[in-house]
Structure formats: C-alpha cells, structure tokens
Amino acid sequence: MKLTDHKVLTFDCYGTLIDWESGVYLATEPLRTLGRLDITRDQQLEAFAKHESPVQTETPDMLYPDVLAEVHRRMAKDLGVTEATEEDHVRFGNSVPYWPAFTDSAEALRRLHKHFKLIILSNVHRAGFAASNRRLGVTFDKIITAQDVGSYKPTPRNYDVMVEEMAAMGIEKHEILHTAESLYHDHWRCGEMGINRAWIYRRHDQEGFGNTRPVETEVKPEFVFHSMAEMADAVEAEVAG
C-alpha cells in the first residue's frame, strides 16, 4: 500500500495539527497556581484525559467549550483546588482558539493539498475549529465537527458520517487515509471499521499517552510518521518515484 493510493486525507486536528497538549497545559496554569500544585506536565495532562472522554460520552450533544468547562470542574475537585470558580471553569472552556499549531502543520498541509483532498474530522465545535483553521492557513475541502454529528470520537457514528460524506464526494472508503495522533480517539476505531490510517506519532519521544486515554487493544496503523513534515516528505518521494 502507498500513501498515494488514497485520494483524501481525513484529519484529526487537536493533537495532530494543533498542539492540544501545550494548549491544555497552558490553559490549566491558573488552576495549578490557585492550588499551589506541584505536578508534572504529564500528570496534568493525565488529569485532563481522565475526565474528557467520560464527559463526552455522558453528554454527546454538549458543545466542546461546555465539555472543557466540566472537565475543568472535575479536575479542580480531584486535585483539591477549592479556590477555582465558575469563571475559571468557563475560561478554560473557551481556551481552544488560543491553542497553538504545531510548527510544521501549515506548511505540510500546503504541500499535501497538492496531492489530496483535505478533510477535518474533529471533536470540537465549529467556532472553535474556525479559530484553529486560521492558524493552519489552509482551506479544507470539508469540515466535520462533533457539533455537526452530535457525538464525539471514538463513537462509530462520527466515522460513519465521515465515510458517508466522502461517498457523496465520489470517494470510496479504501481511498480514505485517516491521519491522526490519538490511538484512543482515532486509530483503534478506524481499524475496526476498515479505514486506512496514518499515525502522526507526536509523542514518540515521550512516555505515556498524555491528553488521551490508553488503548486496551493492539493498534497497528498502516503508516507511522513522527511529524506532519515527515509525512509530506514521504508523499513527495512517492510522487517523484
């Protein structure tokens, strides 16, 4: 199988194109300050991961800023930060537009767009992604958010909608390459559904799972890269022959 056997790249955004972990870590700094918390970056990210997916499962139609606010409430309770206010929770919920892009994302997307349609399949809401899109500097051919679907990945419905939308564009499932960092939100579910995958393994030089829950099954994506730039290089090498 080659990368260029595919016609479309469908992207997870946060963790893959946008530096989700840095965004969350920076946005939780007030919580650590209020609680005088002595915890590592990974401990903070794991505290986030503990609550994000459960909140999304419990309230699949809740918009992402409200999901984040509830996650912040639960983190504050777990970490014993009784000083945290509702304003603090809401501020964290509205932090998505401030999360930075990975430095290689915009240029890699520009290069890849010469060879593929580019689609977003994201767990955020439309307004949040619109702010991130400005950081990425590319016009995606289709944007599908959790707000559009009414549920959050890794719910099968999100991928069903993606496949249906691609079919409407004349693209068959085997022509889709889902490109993502998260094994939990993306790769194991795509494997179950027969969707080819490119793993952008941003955490290759770190231990643990960071902002995401561990996966409980073996996951073997068809392609593995450590960055978006590395993936774009591989595509251009195939094209050059």
**CATH number of the domain residue 64 falls in:** 1.10.150.750
Q: How many percent of the chain have pLDDT more than 90?
A: 89
Please give the average per-residue pLDDT across 152-157, as a whole number.
93
- Write down the pLDDT at residue 233: 97
Domain residues for the domain of 154 are 3-20+99-240
What is the number of domains present in the chain?
Answer: 2
- Write down the pLDDT at residue 110: 97
Q: Per-residue pLDDT for 52 more than 80?
A: yes
Give per-residue pLDDT as tens, 74-123. Answer: 999 999 999 999 999 999 999 999 999 999 999 999 999 999 999 999 99
Q: The domain spanning residue 10 has which CATH number?
A: 3.40.50.1000
Task: Determine which one of 5, 12, 38, 186 is catalytic.
Answer: 12
Average predicted confidence (pLDDT) for the chain: 93
Inter-residue contact 55 to 70 (CB < 8 Å): yes
Residue 157, Cα to own-chain centre: how many angstroms? 17
Q: Same domain for 189 and 220?
A: yes
Q: Same domain for 59 and 133?
A: no
Q: Same domain for 28 and 135?
A: no
Q: Same domain for 122 and 92?
A: no
Active site residue 5: no
- Neighbour tally for 75: CB within 10 Å: 22
Q: Which one of 98, 126, 145 terminates a domain?
A: 98
Angle at 133 between CA 9 and CA 156, to 5 degrees: 50
Q: Same domain for 127 and 223?
A: yes
- Write down the pLDDT at residue 125: 92
- CA-nearest of 42, 41, 30, 16 to 99 is 16
Q: Same domain for 90 and 116?
A: no
Nearest-angstrom CA–CA distance, 31 and 22 = 15
- Write down the pLDDT at residue 42: 93
- Write down the pLDDT at residue 215: 76
Q: Which one of 42, 76, 98 terminates a domain?
A: 98
Please give the average per-residue pLDDT across 228-237, as a whole number.
97
203: confidence class by pLDDT, cuts 50, 70, 90: confident
Cα pseudo-dihedral 50, 55, 58, 60, rounded to 10: -130
Q: Same domain for 53 and 80?
A: yes
